[in-house]
Structure 1
């Protein structure tokens, strides 16, 4: 049963994946088709994540893509999952999201993370003289909030557009650090359990116990990201998942590649150690038929009691990806 008898929202996280034999332009068109599809299905949000220097991910210019997606849809909320704030000046982020919120009022979310979204060498190229910027993340969030507040209209530095607009800010995290921050600031909290599940329960506990009501949020609100690969049968879904496993294997080995087509089995492709490492990091993954996914998600919701689920699907074939989200929505509506 849904939390407190209320149906939880279901959302999508997309990374604009670049497939073997395709280009970032193809990835963007696929993301748009996906956004339109899940909007019709009734998903609540379509978020995109900031990553850099990854051949398999084309969402580096996240704000530009959010404008593209928002312009091609009409009702679904569009947002960042997230903007890696230490890579940017808070004023610029306020102006960018102020522009988006002015163009698409009532539909823009601003999720913020403290990680660089890339390797350390690329982080240096992004941050230039702000190499230790991640340590001042709380101050950056406060500065951003100030630019977006109506009270800032008397300041010498103003975000126009942005000032006074209702742009929900989320704190994103993959460890307990951001849980403390989200709780202290009274902001909604999204956890990256799709690749860092180890501290999920601890982080949720900290956030809920230490939450302080704010002008933005009166009670704790949590969202967890999970991997979902659904198909008509368990066998079909497990085969589709080999594309995801191969992609993740490249990350483990430090040999990044574009996502390739599925293969019959991962046996002989990765070592026992690599398989165990992947399974540990991908523990919050639900792969199988609708019935199998439903069983796994039901247990996940009972264990975490999160208010919302955001799902990502690393699937090579676009039609298979669209179908996976169809199955997921049907399953989720029945929980």
Structure 2
């Protein structure tokens, strides 16, 4: 990968639904933001995959990626991440292959490992397990806050998570197929896929133009190790699970083996960001974030993103604050200079080659403005 003059910034979009907004309006806002991000110099526009959340419209990233690619001209478009167990490998290869054929050299395909646990006593793959020690504390590494690990859902997965798995046809232990599924998908694109009986399969239109493959992870677990083993670039989540970001990157680098497409480890690190003209305005626009994260962490699911006024009126009790404190403390909120300095620290401490920015606000115009102000301050 060529080395740019400044660390590239990219966009991670969940297509959040704001209070009073319809899902259609949220999705159209995504298309508008993608065009604005391209004009501002962002390198990639990645789409997340979430299900059964009233506050998130990004449930079909492969479909939405096609719409985003059609609404833009040059920015790379992809998924962060496609949750493999929700599809068969052939389906993914054909869907992304279709987009890669129409929009050559613009598609990224990120793989994520998430699904039901093998047993009721095991944490679900992709879900941060409970804190190992009650004495775990926050720490600061060269200026970057690394908060103590916190369980996302607690000891028992909520009914919504289990219902989601049932509706998507998941079954306990299906994430054990993660490596094989990735190899199969890559094989469909390279033309090297073979059945167990040695039969050659051509997955039109996957054969030909190939996307750039990524693996994303939140812990020093199977995803980080597999990304290293396969010589693929790795996406580390400071925005979802900040406690594990340094460990996951270290695990990836420790297991990295050069591949045909990548000779050295390559990392993109995500961050929650909100920029406004001045710090006071940014803090006002940031008010609803804690309540939004609380919905996710409690198992209720993301709620429609509240307005600053409604968020101030509702507030958060002490229990809710404790549940989301790590996310609040690691969100970079402020004027362009303040946020730029935070991101420079994140890049320096993690050694990331790229940064992935996710920004949520009640008014879509404030999201666009945040990305534009950051792009100018960063020098894109």
The two structures have a TM-score, normalised by structure 1, of 0.93
Q: Is the 8 A contact 2:105 2:209 kept in 1?
A: no
Cα 1:170–1:283 change in 2 (3 A) is: farther
**Residues 1:302 and 2:361 aligned together:** no
Cα 1:282–1:190 change in 2 (3 A) is: farther
Q: Distance in 1 between matches of 2:69 and 2:8?
A: 19
**Residues 1:121 and 2:157 aligned together:** no
The equivalent residue for 1:186 is: 231
Q: Is the 8 A contact 1:239 1:265 kept in 2?
A: no
1:102-122 Cα offsets, whole Å, 9 max, x none, are 111110000010114871221
Q: Is the 8 A contact 1:124 1:131 kept in 2?
A: no
Q: Shift of residue 311 of structure 1?
A: 0.5
The equivalent residue for 1:59 is: 58
The equivalent residue for 2:69 is: 70
Cα 1:31–1:199 change in 2 (3 A) is: same
The equivalent residue for 2:324 is: 278
Q: How many residues align?
A: 330
| Structure 2 segments unaligned to the other structure (5+ residues) | 116-125, 127-159
The equivalent residue for 1:17 is: 16
Q: Is the 8 A contact 1:195 1:282 kept in 2?
A: no
The equivalent residue for 1:323 is: 369
The equivalent residue for 1:142 is: 183
Which structure is higher in helix share?
A: 1
Q: Shift of residue 124 of structure 1?
A: 1.9
Q: Shift of residue 282 of structure 1?
A: 4.4
Q: Shift of residue 267 of structure 1?
A: 8.6
Q: Shift of residue 281 of structure 1?
A: 3.4
- Aligned CA RMSD, in angstroms, stands at 2.1
| Structure 1 segments unaligned to the other structure (5+ residues) | none
Once the two structures are superposed, the pairs formed by residues 105-254 of structure 1 within 5 Å of their partners are: 105-116=104-115, 119-128=161-170, 130-152=171-193, 155-177=199-221, 178-254=223-299
Q: Shift of residue 181 of structure 1?
A: 0.8
Q: Is the 8 A contact 1:249 1:274 kept in 2?
A: yes
Determine which of 323, 332, 335 is the counterpart of 2:378: 332
1:65-118 Cα offsets, whole Å, 9 max, x none, are 110110111010000011101111001100111100011111000001011487
Q: Is the 8 A contact 1:197 1:283 kept in 2?
A: no
The two structures have a TM-score, normalised by structure 2, of 0.82
Q: Distance in 1 between matches of 2:326 and 2:193?
A: 46
Q: Shift of residue 253 of structure 1?
A: 3.5
Q: Shift of residue 131 of structure 1?
A: 3.9
1:23-51 Cα offsets, whole Å, 9 max, x none, are 11101110000000010001000000111
Q: Is the 8 A contact 1:88 1:127 kept in 2?
A: no
